[in-house]
Amino acid sequence: NAGVTQTPKFRILKIGQSMTLQCAQDMNHNYMYWYRQDPGMGLKLIYYSVGAGITDKGEVPNGYNVSRSTTEDFPLRLELAAPSQTSVYFCASSYGTSGWETQYFGPGTRLLVL
């Protein structure tokens, strides 16, 4: 199993550009999550999904969009990038049978908006 994979690993965007961060998992997990981690801070939840076709906002959803057309993939879309979106983005997944299950994290995507 590859686990949770994320692409790209690093990206530089200009203000106003758009991009999609890719996330895929091969563990047949129902639940998937997107977090952002700013320097010296913990992780904040952007969006989450409890299954294909079902998504909902987390704590910091503004400026982002998600979709979940398959169990495996959960892409995060940034529209009109802003310097405040400079961060490290982590995707995670879990089985979804109980709230306190292990979340498996990907290696992250480092995004710099200039």
Sites of contact with other proteins (CB under 8 A) = 4, 31, 33, 35, 40-45, 48, 50, 56, 58-59, 90, 92, 94, 96, 99-103, 105-108
Q: Supply the minimum distance, in Å, between the C-beta of residue 94 and other proteins.
A: 5
Of 10 and 80, nearer to other proteins (C-beta) is: 10
Task: Give the nearer residue to other proteins in terms of CB position, either 14 or 62.
Answer: 62
Yes or no: say if 114 and 14 are a contact pair by the CB < 8 Å rule.
yes
Of the pair 106, 113, the CB lying nearest other proteins is at 106
Taking a C-beta distance cutoff of 8 angstroms, is the pair 27, 93 a contact?
yes
Q: Pick left, alpha or beta for residue 99 (phi over 0 → left; psi -120 to 50 → alpha; otherwise beta).
A: alpha
**Distance (Å, rounded) from C-alpha 13 to C-alpha 42?**
23
CB of 106 to other proteins, least distance (A): 6
> What tokens does 16 get?
């106003």
- Compute the least distance from the CB of residue 99 to other proteins, in Å: 4
CA proximity to 44, closest of 4, 13, 84, 75: 84
CB 6 to other proteins: min, Å: 9
